[in-house]
Amino acid sequence: MAIEQVEVRRAEPAVAGRRLSVAAGSVVGNRYRANYDVLHLDPARPLVVVADGMGDGEGSAIAGRTAVEVFVAAAGPTPQALRAAVADVQLRVRAAGAGLGELTGCTLTAFVGAADEPDAWIVQLGDSRAYRLRGGLLELLTTDHTIAWLGAVNGWWPADSPEAHAARYRLTRYAGHPDSPEPDVLSVALRDGDVFLLCTDGLAEQVSYERLAEVLQGTPDPGRAATMLLEESLRAGGDDNATAAVIRVGRE
């Protein structure tokens, strides 16, 4: 099986005396004919956005594009501005899907900073993810907004059971949800040497925690790290679109 060509984009925005080295890319994989993940890597400001459409129809594609476009235009580096941006996303995604007659929704995970602020924000809606590697420890910073996550936390069924597998695809929060659920908005301090990974479930479900940690810790160049992780998803079967954005924090 030929491995899909991986191309990454790069940026180096500044945040309060630190420079972020950012690289991100996305692959179609083998399951779908098109890529329903949407990636935004801002060339000038510390802003990375990852969305994952629900399903493989027109509603999936429209939801991802609309959510990212609206969020990028409205997002400011305060929790109030970020929540307002997601509220606008909810309205616009539902409006975009009103005449389609099919599910129109997507996840949204973002890393948002400001040139004059030492910290950053993580915005989470759905089951894409944000990880942080610090001091050799890779931590999942976000919560999956799924029934599977609730089942795992509350012990409803074994993690490898059919019930847990089916619940993985039942999202409790997403962009386009009829109840307009709010996102999680997390404040994260930025330290020299921190590495953040934003990814869709096509990466997180196919590449093990151990391999994520190994690549992020052993690969200083974010572009190379993102490429390696995406290639890992393809070697694992490419059963979903996969997107990865790697952010490394350093001094200017």
Reported as a single tens digit per residue, the pLDDT across 6-37 is 999 999 998 888 899 999 999 999 999 999 99
Q: What is the 3-state secondary structure (H, E, C) of 95-116?
A: HHHCCCCCCCCEEEEEEECCCC
CATH superfamily of the domain spanning 8-251: PPM-type phosphatase domain (3.60.40.10)
CA 165 to mean position of chain CA atoms: 21
pLDDT one-digit tens code per residue, 41-96: 999 899 999 999 999 999 999 999 999 999 999 999 899 999 999 999 999 999 99
| Annotated domain spans of the chain | 8-251
Q: Rounded to 5 degrees, what angle do the CA atoms 52, 100, 104 make?
A: 20
Residues 6+ apart with CB under 8 A from 208: none
pLDDT higher than 90, residue 117: no
φ and ψ of 168, to 5 deg: -60, -25
For residue 124, give both structure tokens: 């989470």
pLDDT higher than 70, residue 236: yes
Its pTM stands at 0.95
> What is the reported pLDDT for 26?
98
Mean pLDDT over each residue of the chain, to the nearest integer: 95
> What is the reported pLDDT for 22?
97
Confidence band for 115, pLDDT divided at 50, 70 and 90: confident
- Report the alpha-carbon distance of residue 238 to residue 53 in Å, rounded: 16
